[in-house]
Each structure stands twice: as C-alpha cells, then as structure tokens.
Amino acid sequence: MGKYVSFYKVAVEEDMSQWILEEWLKAGFRELEWEYAYEEWKDTKKWKDQGSVCPTCFALDGHRFKIQDVLDKTTHNAPKYSMSHVGCFSKDTEIYTEDGFKLVKDVKVGDKVLALNPKTLGLDWVKAIDTVSYKQDKMIHFHNKNLDLLVTPNHRMFHVTPYMRSLGRKEGKFIEADKLPKSALFYRSSEWKGKDNNALQFGLTMEEFCKFMGYFLAEGSLGRINQIMIAQFDKAKKKKMWNDLRVMNFKTVSNVKQGIYINAPELYNYLKQFGKCNEKYVPRMIKELPAKLIRIFLDAFRLGDGSTVKPKQKIGGYEAKVRRTYWTSSKRMADDLGELIIKVGKRPCYYLAKRKGKVQHFKNGDYTINHDVWTVGEGNGIYSGGCRSRVKREVVDYNDYVYCVELEKHNTLLVRKSGTVVWSGNCYCRMKRIPREDERLDYPKEQETKTMEQKLDDIGYTVVHIEEGIRDLFQRQGVKFEESDIQDVKQKVLEYAEGLSMSNKSTARDQIWRTIQREVWAITKQRKGNASYFGFIRIANQVKRELGRTLYGNE
C-alpha cells in the first residue's frame, strides 16, 4: 500500500461491508472520511510510473460522509463512495500466505502474505492490514495455457514492459487491467537473495543437510529406535542416494533391499515434527537459504519423488530446456515447493490428481493410493505474454462477489488460479471512520480556546502562507482566477483544518497542503480542459518545496 497519513488513534482494519457500517453506528460513530493512499515520492514521474497516485481517491481525499447516507446509498453490500473503484480478484483466486495458498476471501487482517518488491523483485513477508469485498457484474479474463487471472477492470496489474526487460531493468509497473497494453509481460518469479547459514545441523554441513532433507521429505519415514528409512527401488536413483548419504556424519548407514537405513538419534527426534506423507513440509530454515542451497534441496527431493525430462529436439526453433516435476500428497509441501521454485528464479504450476482410493502399479507391486497427489511443475519461462505467449483478454459476465486484501507495503501479491501463478497488484485505498469525541487526539483543555489562526501558527502555518500557496499554485498552472477564488479555497481549507488534530505538526501540515491541492485542482480542471493531472502534481510539489521551512520546518 501507499503510506497512510492518519491522525486517528484507531486504524480501520475491517472491510467496508454493510454490517461493519451498522456496527459503527451502534458504537456511536457518525461520519467517514476518505483518504487516498500514496507513496512518499517527490519525483512525480515515479508516481506516474509506479501507479501510486489514484486519481479517483485524490478527488475524494478529505471528503466526509455521514455513515447513514452511505448506508442509504449502499449497493452490492459496499459503499459507492469508497469501493466502486477498488480492484479485486474473483472468489476462486488464491493468495500465498505463510500458511500456504488461501482463497482470497479467507485471508484475514494480520495474515502474513508473500510480497514482491516492485523495484528490486526481492521477496518480503508483509502483513495484510485490510480486506475488501463487494459484488461485481463484469470482469476481465487474462488467460493462455500457463496463465489464468480474473480481475475487475480497474484492478492494479503488476507487469514488466519488453523495453524495460531489454535494458535488463529489474523492476515492474502498475496499471489498471482495462488499460494494460497487449505487449505487457506478466512476471512469475523473483530475485531472491536469502541468508547464508554456515552452522552445522546435526553434524552435517548445510549442503549435506539440504540434500538429506530433500531425500527424507520425498521418500523418508521413521522406524523404531532412532531408525530413519529412505525408501527407493530404482537402482540408479538408489545408487546416487547411497553415495551421497554414506559419507555424511551419521552413526550408521545401511544399504538394504527396501532402501537406505540411517541411525542418527538427534536427527531422528528432529524429524518427528514432519509427520506422515500427507503432512510433510519444508522447514523454514531451508526456505530462508540462498538460491544455490535451495536448488540442492529441490534436486534431492525430485530424485526421490519427481522427474527430470531432457528434451532431445528443438521446439519452434528454440532449444528446449529441462522440465522438472515434483510429486507430493501434502498440500503444505506442494505450496512450499512452489515457494522454493520461485526463490531459485523459476516459476511453479500446480495440478491436483484425484487418486485417492485408486490402485496404482509400482516397481515393487500394486498399491491403493490413500491420498490425492499434487504435481508441481518447475517452469523455465518466468514471463507470460509478449510475442511468444500471447495472453488473451476478454470481458466476461461474472455477477458475484470479488475480494482483495491490502498490504503494508509493496502492493504485490502472489496469486494462483487454475494451478497457474502470477504476481499481481492489490487494492490500497479506503475510507476511515471519524473518531468519537472520546477517541480524538484532542489538545489539552487549556488549548481548546485557541483560534484557528493560533492553531495554524503552532504548526508553522499562517493564513497568509495559505493564501500565498493558493495564489502561486493558480499562477503556475496558467489558470485565470479571481481573488474570490483564493478566498473560496482558503475558506474550505480552514473549514477542513477545524476538524484536524494539530498534535502531529508534520501530519497536520501535510493534510492542509493536500486539501489546498485538491481544491485548486478542482477549479483548474473546470477552467482548463486540457490540464494534466500529473503536471499539476509536479507543479504543486514545486510550490510546496519552495515554502521551505514553513511547511517542513525543524520540529
């Protein structure tokens, strides 16, 4: 999300559904205020490139609404004023969290979500701070053989342009779905760095530990009295495992018909936490390692429960790359494998085979499958779109609820639909409730008698400075204005300032300046039809900086 400039004690963390508004009414709240989200960039070009300024929200910024009025005009269980423009996903879209993939409608405030830094393509775990849901009639469907995404027309899409890619620039942009250019590339991987860990694990180096855990989580189980078993009947695979495991620092290692037996008391106790085959998962320690160590784990896991196919011919004139596949009956393990695939610079895809109860033939006999099986593919193409894999897009009827979450930073989510994954933007603007009198960050009692001029003076402002800023902003836009225009804007600014808490000087100054911008822009747009919104913001920032110490004085 962009940074919220809030002078309220309580931040709104619920969605804006009708029942929330009704609960606020019962609790004594009467008004809402709209605030747009933005990044604290002084470079307007970055604002435009990153899509961090929301024109719809900017126009509503600071406007106050009666909760009852919003309820009276509520449609599809969401206020028109705040949610009509928030972009969302279809209800069958999943988001990747610390607990694996969850349906977007099941993600809660406080859940940690995997986010992509749009500037560096690095990864962070970021808290969800808000959720959104409302009913939508039309959606845009982006799809090809390895991409499936259904979003609202105004959803913020994260993409890379072919030009940026050709320059080797590792960053992306945001743009609304219905404005996404056909040449846009959907990104599906990362530039993960990880943290080196040279500590010995149960007497094993980190490389050895990653390799052993790959073998164990794929084919391992626990027997009696400190016995660890790695099952393997394929002679070539078993030979590779035996050569790797017999030189590791275990008490004993035995090569038997069914596989490989290991005796390691401390390691045996550690492995108990991973449960049965349908409960297994990748330990966090391995997921935080650099890509080269994660690759060792993946290769070991795939040797036990996966496949590696090396194409013998070119496809469409291009040298085909190795195809890697992983199998597991654990949903959690499948999600973890996908995370690791992204961290080694590839992209995952998923397929759930309904095999529970079916009989399947193996080299050592026929067995009834007890669980459904996840197939996780490791794809080499980290982009979708462009000239080689055109993404089809079409407006489709939906008429159902859509959902989204808001993050603390980065504005990106890893989403999955129909087994395909892609990075996408998230919603980042919302309405706030006006606090009750007992919640306000009011002045001490002795300051309540101060005039507005005195309050402004306390934060480094004067009415004269406000007038100067308004006049300068009009003049630099080349807009014809009268003295009455300045007085009208000033009056609206002062009325807005009446409801502000002045306890945080920097925040109060910023709120007042944004109100000046909004009111001057409204007049500019009316009198100068060809006015550029981003050009206006650029000039407004220049005026703001030139006021210098008045606006950003030392506290």
Q: What torsion do the CA atoms of 158, 164, 165, 171 make, to the nearest 10 degrees?
A: -50
Q: What is the DSSP letter of 120?
A: T
**In contact, 412 and 426? CB cutoff 8 Å:** yes
Q: 215 with 362, same domain?
A: yes
Q: 47 with 30, same domain?
A: yes
- Distance CA(385)–CA(391), nearest Å, equals 5
Q: Is residue 509 situated within a structural domain?
A: yes
Q: What is the DSSP letter of 396?
A: E
For residue 446, the model assigns a pLDDT of 39
Mean residue pLDDT of the chain comes to: 79
Q: Indicate whether 64 pLDDT > 80.
A: no
Q: 121 with 241, same domain?
A: no
For residue 162, the model assigns a pLDDT of 82
Q: Indicate whether 247 pLDDT > 60.
A: yes
Q: Indicate whether 513 pLDDT > 70.
A: yes
CATH code of the domain covering residue 54:
2.170.16.10
What is the torsional sign of CA 357, 358, 364, 365?
A: positive
Q: 356 with 216, same domain?
A: yes
Q: 341 with 428, same domain?
A: no
Q: Is residue 330 situated within a structural domain?
A: yes
Give me the number of domains the chain comprises: 3
Most confident range (mean pLDDT) of 13-17, 294-298, 530-534 is: 294-298
Among 370, 400, 433, the domain boundary falls at 433
Phi, psi of 392 (to 5 degrees): -80, 145
Residue type, 122: G
Q: Is residue 7 situated within a structural domain?
A: no
**In contact, 255 and 272? CB cutoff 8 Å:** no
Q: Which of 14-18, 131-135, 530-534 has the lowest mean pLDDT?
A: 14-18
Q: Indicate whether 128 pLDDT > 50.
A: yes
**Bridge partners for 324 per DSSP:** 308, 378
Q: 131 with 80, same domain?
A: yes
Q: Mean pLDDT over residues 129-153, rounded?
A: 89
Classify residue 53 as left (phi > 0), alpha (psi -120 to 50) or beta: beta
pLDDT digit string (tens) for 472-499? 888 887 778 888 888 888 888 887 777 6
CATH code of the domain covering residue 227:
3.10.28.10
Q: 166 with 236, same domain?
A: no
Q: Indicate whether 202 pLDDT > 90.
A: yes
Most confident range (mean pLDDT) of 280-289, 365-374, 504-513 is: 280-289
Q: 322 with 242, same domain?
A: yes
Q: What is the DSSP letter of 249?
A: S
Q: Is residue 456 situated within a structural domain?
A: yes
**In contact, 268 and 223? CB cutoff 8 Å:** no
| 231: Cβ contacts below 8 Å, ≥ 6 apart | 219, 220, 221, 258, 259
For residue 313, the model assigns a pLDDT of 62
Parallel, antiparallel, or unpaired: how do β-strands 227-231 and 259-263 relate? Answer: antiparallel
Q: Is residue 195 situated within a structural domain?
A: no
Q: Is residue 150 situated within a structural domain?
A: yes
Task: Tell me if residue 412 falls in helix, strand or coil.
Answer: strand
Q: 27 with 173, same domain?
A: yes
**In contact, 231 and 238? CB cutoff 8 Å:** no
State the maximum Cα–Cα separation within the chain, in Å, rounded to a whole number.
95
**Which residue matches tokens 């596989």?**
259
**Bridge partners for 134 per DSSP:** 402
Q: Is residue 324 situated within a structural domain?
A: yes
What stretches of 235-318 adopt beta strand conformation (E)?
Answer: 252-256, 259-263, 306-309
Confidence label for 227 from pLDDT (cuts 50, 70 and 90): very high
Q: Is residue 401 situated within a structural domain?
A: yes
**Is the model more confident about 143 or about 29?**
143
Q: 372 with 285, same domain?
A: yes
Structural domain including 454 reads: 445-552
Q: 85 with 122, same domain?
A: yes
**In contact, 221 and 231? CB cutoff 8 Å:** yes
Q: What is the DSSP letter of 146?
A: T
Q: What is the DSSP letter of 315?
A: B
Counting residues of the chain whose pLDDT is more than 90, the rounded percentage is: 39
Q: 373 with 391, same domain?
A: no
- Distance CA(139)–CA(311), nearest Å, equals 39
**Which residue matches tokens 């001490």?**
444
